[in-house]
Structure 1
Amino acid sequence: MAAIPSTVDFKTPRQKEWGVLQSKNLAQLNYGGITDDKGVPIKTYSTNCYQDALDQAKLLIAQGTGTTNVQVVEFVPYDYMMQPNV
Structure 2
Amino acid sequence: MKVATIPSTIDFKKPRQKEWGVIQGKNLVQLNYGGTTDDTGDPIKAYSTNCYQDALEQAKILIANGAKTTDIQVVEFVPYDYMMQPNV
Q: Under a length normalisation based on structure 1, what TM-score does the superposition of the two structures give?
A: 0.77
Classify the secondary structure of the residue corresponding to 2:74. Answer: strand
Q: Which runs of 5+ in 1 are unaligned?
A: 1-10
1:47 aligns with 2:65: no
- 1:14–1:76 contact (8 Å) kept in structure 2: no
Q: What's the CA shift for 1:82?
A: 5.2
Q: d(CA) in 2 for partners of 1:81 and 1:46?
A: 24
Instruction: Give the number of aligned pairs.
Output: 77
Q: Under a length normalisation based on structure 2, what TM-score does the superposition of the two structures give?
A: 0.76
Classify the secondary structure of the residue corresponding to 1:54. Answer: helix
1:84 aligns with 2:74: no
Equivalent position to 2:22, from 10, 20, 23: 20
Instruction: Report sequence identity in percent.
Output: 80
Rg larger in 1 or in 2? 2
Please tell me the residue identity of whatever aligns with 1:68: T
- 1:21–1:27 contact (8 Å) kept in structure 2: yes
Q: d(CA) in 1 for partners of 2:83 and 2:71?
A: 30
